[in-house]
Amino acid sequence: MGVSVTAGRTFAMHVLCPTDFSESAQRAAEVAALLAARMKMPLKLQHSAPDAVVSVEMPVISQIEERAKAALEEEAARLRAYGAEVETDLHFGRAVDDVVHGTHRENTRMVVLGSAGRGLAGRWLTGNVAERVAEAVPVPTLVVRQPAPLMKWLQEGAPLKVLCGVDFSITADAALLAVKSLAKVAPCEVDAAFIEWPHDWPWQGGEEGNPEGDAEWKETMESHQRDLWERVGGLLEGVPVRAHVRGTGGRLDYEFVRLAEEMASGLLVVGAHQWHGLQRLRGPSFSRGVLGQAARNVLCVPLASYTPEFSVSPVRSVLVATDFSANGNAALRVAYGVLENGGSIHLFHVAPLGKGDVAILENGSSHSEAEEARLLALVPKELASRQVKVGLKAVHRHDVAAAICEEAERRRVDLICMGTRGHTGVVAAVLGSVAQAVLAHSRIPVLAVPAVER
């Protein structure tokens, strides 16, 4: 990648629009400016000029930079008339690399670009460059091929007809959440389509006769449509949407593009795994096929951009606190169950000191070799083949609960697992409970294993 010359401040979250100043790029830039203004974000207008080291057309770098800067500033001034805050970014080198590296380093919300054209650089947005960018950047990429419906949507508030591809995968969820964000920008008429090759359907495309008259075919279609509706409705939350199920005997991307033509959709939205290299051998890429075949606007949403509203925090490390009682030792068995897919266990014992005893500090002889040997004996030999690492530690402290909490934080574990005697009410108040004290003071989740009646 070449040199970067940026005018203005460091970019906050922004819309990125690469340009080669061609007509196609200018129309895409207008869409990007309106979109940025609607989203209340700055627009970063980026141009990659030919590298003077390899260029034979313009060997003087000062001339290249002067001309490119002037064209970039002129285009930025034109786009500011659309209400956008526009910053410019000039690069020297390969445009595709500049875009990809920039989106990985900076706070880019979306990339907007035209699909073809020859402008000042004479070579940039030609061929499948737009598709290559969409397949590589970690943020949604809007490829503008028919700017008119997008301009009407953003300027006049005319509902944008959106067709989203859904296949019950996490990539489809990413696409649906992108549609949900678009519906907040301006009104959208959303259709969700599930296209599948019906190899296991009662009727297959290409056979003679009318499948709609077949009761089993009808039942299959209705079942798939209900599943699609539940999936889409749950993710879009109040955004009006129509669900469509289609079977095809050919390629899924062709059928999806054909459906978009029938519906005169203004925007096609597809999720993307962004497979590369040998991963492409898994099968035809739906998103790549749509990007290559569609004559309409396409928003490609990579899996890397997907941030679910609800996420699961994986448990990779557990502190197991035991007092060597049967119930305390049972917590170790539970911890192994939690780490079924591997991780680490920190087996910890705190020997309580009496009131007259002197606390042994951490940097002194705070552990007992005999007690650590007892801890080691607790580790089940039958589970040695599991991918679970076990660490041992025994200490002496006045405050057992505080020692457990401190050790858990020092180890930065995901979970504390310990047995409890199960006392409640007055009994607990009188006897006190280490487990209760840990539950009350720990900033790390605690899994309390109750006493088992025998």
Helix (H) or strand (E) holding 349: strand 343-352
Predicted confidence (pLDDT) per residue in 169-215, tens digit: 888 889 999 999 999 999 999 999 998 775 545 544 444 444 555 66
Cα gap 254→247, rounded to integer Å? 12
For residue 244, pLDDT over 70 is answered with yes
Give 267-326 as a DSSP string.
EEEEEE----GGGGGGS--HHHHHHHH-SS-EEEEEGGG---SS------EEEEE--SSH
Residues 280-299: what's their mean pLDDT?
80
- The domain total for the chain is 2
Per-residue confidence (pLDDT) for residue 260, from 0 to 100: 96
Pair (105, 235) in one structural domain: yes
The strand pair at 141-144 and 388-397 is best described as unpaired
E strand or H helix at 154: helix 147-156
Instruction: Between 224 and 414, name the one with better pLDDT.
Output: 414
Residues with Cβ < 8 Å from 215, sequence gap 6 or more?
none
More confident residue, 296 or 330: 296
User: Above 50 in pLDDT, residue 432?
Assistant: no
Q: Are residues 243 and 336 in the same domain?
A: no
Residue 254: what pLDDT? 92
Torsion, Cα of 90, 93, 97, 102 (10° steps): -30
Q: Domain of 430: which CATH number?
A: 3.40.50.620
Helix (H), strand (E) at residue 7: strand 4-7
Is residue 233 packed enough to be buried (19+ CB in 10 Å), middle (13-18) or exposed (0-12)? middle
Does 311 fall in a domain?
Answer: no
Which pair of structure tokens corresponds to residue 73? 């500033």
Domain shared by 192 and 301, yes or no: yes
User: Same structural domain for residues 255 and 404?
Assistant: no
> Is 69 a domain residue?
yes
pLDDT at 428: 41
What CATH code is carried by the domain that includes residue 34? 3.40.50.12370
Residue 311: the pLDDT is 59
Lowest-pLDDT range, 4-8, 93-97, 148-152, 266-270?
4-8
In a domain, 454, yes or no: no
DSSP 3-state of 21: coil
Query: Which positions ≥6 away from 251 have C-beta within 8 Å?
Result: 284, 289
pLDDT top residue among 453 and 121:
453
Judged against a pLDDT cut of 60, whether residue 125 lies above it is answered with no
Q: Identify whether residues 20 and 59 lie together within a single domain.
A: yes
Q: What is the mean pLDDT of residues 158-164?
A: 96
Domain of 331 in residue numbering reads as 317-449
The β-bridge partners of 415 are: 318
Computed over every residue of the chain, the mean pLDDT equals: 80
Contact predicate 179/239, CB 8 Å: yes
- Does the pLDDT at position 77 exceed 60? yes
Same domain? 355 vs 299: no
Which residue has 């296949």 as its token pair? 167
Q: What are phi and psi of 213, to 5 degrees?
A: -85, -5
Residues 211 and 134 in one domain: yes
Residue 83 contacts residue 34 (beta carbons within 8 Å): yes
Q: Are residues 56 and 158 in the same domain?
A: yes
Residues 240 and 366 in one domain: no
Q: What percent of the chain has pLDDT over 90?
A: 40
Number of neighbours of residue 360 by Cβ within 10 angstroms: 16
Kindly report the backbone phi and psi dihedral angles of residue 143, in degrees, each rounded to the nearest multiple of 5, phi listed first.
Answer: -95, 115
- pLDDT surpasses 50 at 122: no
Encode pLDDT of 249-288 as tens digits: 788 899 999 999 999 999 999 998 766 554 444 556 888 8
Please give the pLDDT value at position 51: 66
Q: Regarding beta strands 188-196 and 160-165, do their DSSP bridges make them parallel or antiparallel, or are they unpaired?
A: parallel
pTM: 0.63
Q: Is the pLDDT of residue 365 over 60?
A: no
Q: Do 283 and 383 touch, CB atoms closer than 8 A?
A: no
Can you tell me the distance from the alpha carbon of 106 to that of 11, in angstroms, rounded to the nearest whole number?
7
Which of 115-119, 308-312, 382-386 has maximum average pLDDT? 382-386
In 54-130, the DSSP E strands lie at: 86-92, 108-114
Segment 308-330 mean pLDDT: 82
Domain-embedded: residue 250: yes
- Identify whether 415 is part of a domain: yes
The dihedral through the CA atoms of 238, 167, 176, 260 has a sign that is negative
pLDDT computed for residue 81 by the predictor: 96
Pick the residue with more confidence: 385 or 225?
225
Distance, CA of 449 to CA of 422 (rounded, Å): 9
Same domain for 262 and 164:
yes
Q: Quick check: 186 and 157 in contact, CB under 8 A? A: yes
Strands 298-302 and 141-144: antiparallel
Q: CA 251, 252, 256 angle in degrees (round to 5)?
A: 125
**Which of 305, 327, 348 is the C-terminal boundary of a domain?**
305
Determine contact, residues 191/244, Cβ cutoff 8 Å.
yes
The domain boundary, picked from 305, 325, 353, lies at 305
Whether 423 maps to a domain, the answer reads yes
Q: Indicate whether 310 belongs to any domain.
A: no
Lowest mean pLDDT of 67-71, 121-125, 241-245, name the range: 121-125
- Whether residue 324 sits in one domain with residue 217: no
* Same domain (yes/no): 301, 336: no
CA atoms within 13 A on the CB side of 230: 7
Q: Which residue has the tokens 């301006």?
A: 186
Query: Are the beta carbons of 450 and 417 closer than 8 angstroms?
Result: no
Does the residue 255 lie in any domain? yes
- Domain boundary residue, one of 278, 305, 332: 305
- Alpha-carbon gap, residue 181 to 175, rounded angstroms: 10
Three-state SS for 228?
helix
